[in-house]
């Protein structure tokens, strides 16, 4: 009973003696397998936190060999969570990278995998898209004023850049 209580309290390294026989041996083997599975799951979560959360290796996913039933559902839920957290980040990086290369045609989709972005992801996507829109408008005006002054000889040209409604920034 002490082993079971220790396991319940979160010490996944605990094991029952492996030399038990009969029903006691079957219970010990099953409990030991459960403790091992829980320990591996914990190590996998810590690895995932370190790789994705701290090192930025957003392609990493949780692996738990021979996971079935609720364990497989748990692994899938964790991996879906990582996907849901990293997908908008990847898209924003793609758009910001395009802007850095002078491509002002790219935008962050406000829907991913058939679902609309919500909360902070939606706010940030709108902010990035608004920034791209503002930069596009600014570049058009710079080109227009440069043409007026340089080619047409009109001095005193003024750029007319409109406020960004999408990002809430003027």
For 124-139, the pLDDT digits (tens) are: 999 999 999 999 988 8
Q: Return the axis-axis angle of helices 119-150 and 69-100, rounded to nearest 10°.
A: 10
How far, in Å, CA of 72 to CA of 50, rounded? 21
pLDDT in tens, 143-156: 887 887 777 666 66
3-state helix, strand, coil in the chain (%, to 5): 60, 5, 35
Token pair 């979160």: residue: 10
pLDDT in tens, 95-111: 999 999 999 999 999 99
Residue 119, Ramachandran bin (φ over 0: left; ψ between -120 and 50: alpha; else beta): left
Count CA within 13 A, CB hemisphere, residue 30: 8
pLDDT in tens, 61-94: 999 888 899 999 999 999 999 999 899 989 999 9
Per-residue pLDDT, averaged over 45-63, amounts to 95
Q: Is the dihedral of CA 60, 64, 66, 70 positive or negative?
A: negative
Least confident of 13-17, 44-48, 73-77, 164-168: 164-168
Q: Which residues pair with 111 in a beta bridge?
A: 116
How far, in Å, CA of 142 to CA of 94, rounded? 25
Q: Is the dihedral of CA 51, 52, 55, 59 positive or negative?
A: positive
The pLDDT score that the predictor gives to residue 33 is 93
Residues found in the chain: 170
């Amino acid at each position: 009973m002490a082993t079971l209580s220790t396991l319940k309290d979160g010490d996944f390294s605990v094991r029952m003696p492996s030399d038990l026989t009969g029903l006691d041996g079957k219970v010990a083997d099953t409990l030991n397998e459960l403790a091992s599975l829980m320990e591996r799951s914990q190590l996998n979560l810590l690895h995932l936190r370190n790789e994705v959360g701290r090192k930025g290796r957003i392609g990493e996913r949780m692996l738990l060999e021979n996971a079935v039933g609720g364990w497989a559902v748990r692994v899938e839920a964790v991996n879906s969570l990582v996907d849901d957290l990293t997908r908008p980040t990847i898209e924003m990086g793609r758009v910001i990278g395009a802007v850095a290369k002078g491509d002002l045609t790219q935008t962050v989709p406000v829907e991913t995998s058939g679902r609309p972005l919500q909360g902070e992801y939606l706010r940030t996507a709108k902010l990035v898209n608004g920034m791209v829109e503002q930069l596009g408008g600014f570049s058009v005006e710079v080109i227009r004023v440069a043409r007026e002054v340089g080619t047409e000889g009109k001095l005193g040209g003024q750029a007319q850049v409109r406020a960004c409604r999408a990002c809430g920034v003027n």
